[in-house]
Amino acid sequence: MNLTDKELFRMAVKAEEHAYAPFSNFHVGAALLAKDGRVFTGVNIENSSYGATICAERTAMVKAISEGCLEFEAIAISGNGGTSWPCGICRQFMYEFCPDIRVISGEGEENLRSYALRELLPEGFKL
């Protein structure tokens, strides 16, 4: 499956519908494109114990990894329909599995930007 950045971003926006964000009201969706063409979506899931909150990017990656998928091409991220770049924890989490993944976000599908994760997290940590 050859998805465009716009198509992947649309999937991230659509995923936002399932976000659980009663505290921040900031709904984030992610669409993770695996090298085999599968797409795994994720949303942010907030918790009364704020530290237990999980971001959309990690939700998508955990879903993929739990299905045996470990190779990824790109991830599109949308926050309330617009730009949302990964937090530091998510950048490090993704770096563990795919330091060269393309990260896509923007103010709507007509204004998308993408960066290699290595650009967003130079000198990422890996044992």
pLDDT of residue 1: 58
Tell me the catalytic residues. Answer: 57
Instruction: Give per-residue pLDDT as tens, 53-82.
Output: 999 999 999 999 999 999 999 999 999 999
pLDDT-derived band at 126 (thresholds 50, 70, 90) equals: confident
Instruction: Give per-residue pLDDT as tens, 19-44.
Output: 999 999 999 999 999 999 999 999 99
- Per DSSP, helices labelled H in 86-126 are 88-97, 117-120
Query: The whole model's pTM is what?
Result: 0.96
- Domain 5-120 has what CATH class? alpha beta
Q: Determine contact, residues 16/24, Cβ cutoff 8 Å.
A: no
Each domain of the chain, given as residue ranges in start order, spans: 5-120
